[in-house]
């Protein structure tokens, strides 16, 4: 039986987040397979998904609420993670983030890396991430990409790794069943989920909404997740005259209920490696309106309405058409069958077995 260790990097960095959720679901799926034994060597961690799901697979570590960036906590977590890995002696170490010196670097195990996107290389080349990713790619025995789009983008920057890459798609949640309407949103609303900075193009959505008075009168704009509002964001909402039509939804609200009751989920990103919120929305029967990008076309096919993310008028128009159209394409069953965590786990297991042979 293969022993696969997941490190602490992402579950220390993310209290909530798609990357940590991916590894939690991957470990849970692997735990159901007889050929592999997954272990999360989490050191000290603060991720709530791992804390909730730790009973689904072996988890070694301690949940610590608080801010991970405190250097002592980070170093202590890394040291504890490395010790857990040495005790485990895994066949495979699946790194959960990019690092120059990840925990357990001295352990003689094969290394697998997942690349989620090339956002930093395309939009933030001066940030630390490209250098960290470069180091992780160089030592990886195999690289998993979460979409064909991500693999193509990876090979633009690292053509030499083509022979040791493959694609394993992510998956969305199971449908939640009917949930009550969020009390704080009694009016019709459109929904934005996640980080709002830069390439996420929340500013483009704000411009489109601010320029279309009929859309403002028809629906509110509900915003869920991301960091607290900055002074610049608040000033933009006030100057645009829409601050009274924008509702900030706390992360304590059930996200599935938000998807179920919205008129449309709007995903205006300029670039993504996959886009988990797309599948979250589809699982709850929610109409999806998203940017016309290669990745979104790959993931959603005909199951979404598309707009040019640089065209505010087009964005608002497609949202209105989606709200008005009763026949918005929503082949939920087809998409849920295409993207399943069981397939993600099996695809990853094939790589682990090939690496260990």
208: domain CATH number? 3.40.50.2000
* pLDDT score recorded for residue 16: 78
Residue 68 DSSP class: T
* pLDDT score recorded for residue 172: 86
Report how far apart, in Å, the C-alpha atoms of 357 and of each of 86, 279, 351 are.
Answer: 21, 34, 10
In a domain, residue 77? The reply is yes
Q: Range with the lowest mean pLDDT among 158-167, 220-229, 262-271, 332-341?
A: 332-341
Provide the sign of the torsion angle of the four alpha carbons 276, 336, 309, 187, taken in this order: negative
The model carries a pTM of 0.89
Task: For residues 286 and 301, state if they share a domain.
Answer: yes
Residue 54 lies in domain = 2-171+340-356
Stretch 252-271: mean pLDDT: 94
Looking at the chain, the whole-number percentage of residues with pLDDT higher than 90 is 79
CB count in 10 Å sphere of residue 241? 11
* pLDDT score recorded for residue 66: 67
Predicted confidence (pLDDT) per residue in 29-84, tens digit: 999 999 999 999 999 999 989 999 999 999 999 998 765 556 678 899 999 999 99
- Candidate ranges 54-63, 68-77, 223-232, 336-345; pick with highest mean pLDDT: 54-63
Stretch 259-268: mean pLDDT: 97
Task: For residues 26 and 117, state if they share a domain.
Answer: yes
Task: For residues 32 and 75, state if they share a domain.
Answer: yes
Task: For residues 122 and 14, state if they share a domain.
Answer: yes
Predicted confidence (pLDDT) per residue in 148-157, tens digit: 999 999 999 9
Task: For residues 154 and 8, state if they share a domain.
Answer: yes
CB distance 4 to 95 below 8 Å: no
Pick the residue with more confidence: 314 or 253?
Answer: 314
Number of domains in the chain: 2
Beta strand 92-95 with 2-6 is parallel
Report how far apart, in Å, the C-alpha atoms of 239 and of each of 209, 228, 243, 245, 246 are.
Answer: 13, 19, 8, 13, 13
Task: For residues 15 and 114, state if they share a domain.
Answer: yes
Residue 4, beta-bridge partner list: 38, 92
Q: Which residue has the tokens 């399943």?
A: 340
H or E stretch at 335: helix 332-338
Decide: residue 113, CB within 10 A, 0-12 exposed, 13-18 middle, 19+ buried. Answer: buried
- Spell out the alpha helix ranges (H) of 199-254: 202-211, 213-218, 231-239
Pick the residue with more confidence: 14 or 128?
Answer: 128
């Amino acid at each position: 039986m293969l022993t696969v260790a997941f490190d602490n990097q992402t579950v220390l960095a993310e209290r909530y987040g798609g990357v940590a959720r991916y590894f939690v679901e991957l470990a849970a799926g692997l735990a159901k397979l007889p050929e592999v034994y997954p272990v999360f060597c989490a050191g000290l961690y603060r991720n709530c998904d791992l804390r909730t799901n730790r009973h689904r697979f072996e988890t070694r570590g301690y949940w610590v609420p608080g801010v991970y960036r405190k250097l002592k906590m980070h170093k202590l977590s890394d040291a504890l993670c490395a010790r857990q890995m040495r005790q485990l002696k895994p066949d495979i170490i699946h790194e959960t983030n990019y690092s120059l010196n990840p925990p357990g670097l001295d352990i003689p195990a094969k290394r697998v890396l997942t690349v989620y996107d090339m956002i930093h290389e395309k939009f933030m080349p001066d940030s630390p991430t490209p250098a960290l990713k470069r180091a992780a790619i160089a030592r990886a025995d195999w690289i998993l990409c979460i979409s064909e789009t991500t693999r193509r983008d990876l090979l633009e920057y690292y053509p030499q790794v083509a022979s040791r890459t493959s694609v394993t798609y992510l998956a969305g949640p199971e449908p939640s069943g009917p949930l009550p309407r969020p009390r704080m949103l009694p009016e019709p609303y459109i929904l934005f989920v996640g980080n709002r900075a830069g390439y996420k193009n929340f500013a483009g959505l704000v411009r489109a909404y601010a320029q279309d008075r009929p859309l403002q009168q028809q629906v509110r704009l509900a915003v869920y997740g991301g960091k607290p509002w900055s002074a610049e964001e608040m000033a933009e909402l006030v100057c645009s005259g829409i601050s009274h039509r924008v509702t900030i939804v706390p992360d304590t609200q059930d996200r599935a209920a938000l998807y179920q009751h919205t008129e449309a989920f709007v995903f205006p990103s300029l670039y993504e490696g996959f886009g988990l919120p797309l599948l979250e929305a589809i699982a709850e029967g929610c109409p999806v309106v998203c940017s016309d990008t290669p990745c979104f076309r790959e993931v959603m096919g005909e199951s979404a309405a598309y707009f040019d993310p640089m065209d505010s008028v087009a964005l608002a128009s497609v949202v209105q058409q989606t709200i008005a159209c009763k026949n918005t394409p929503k082949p939920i069953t087809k998409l849920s069958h295409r993207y399943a965590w069981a397939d993600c786990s099996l695809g990853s297991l094939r790589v682990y077995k090939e690496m260990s042979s």
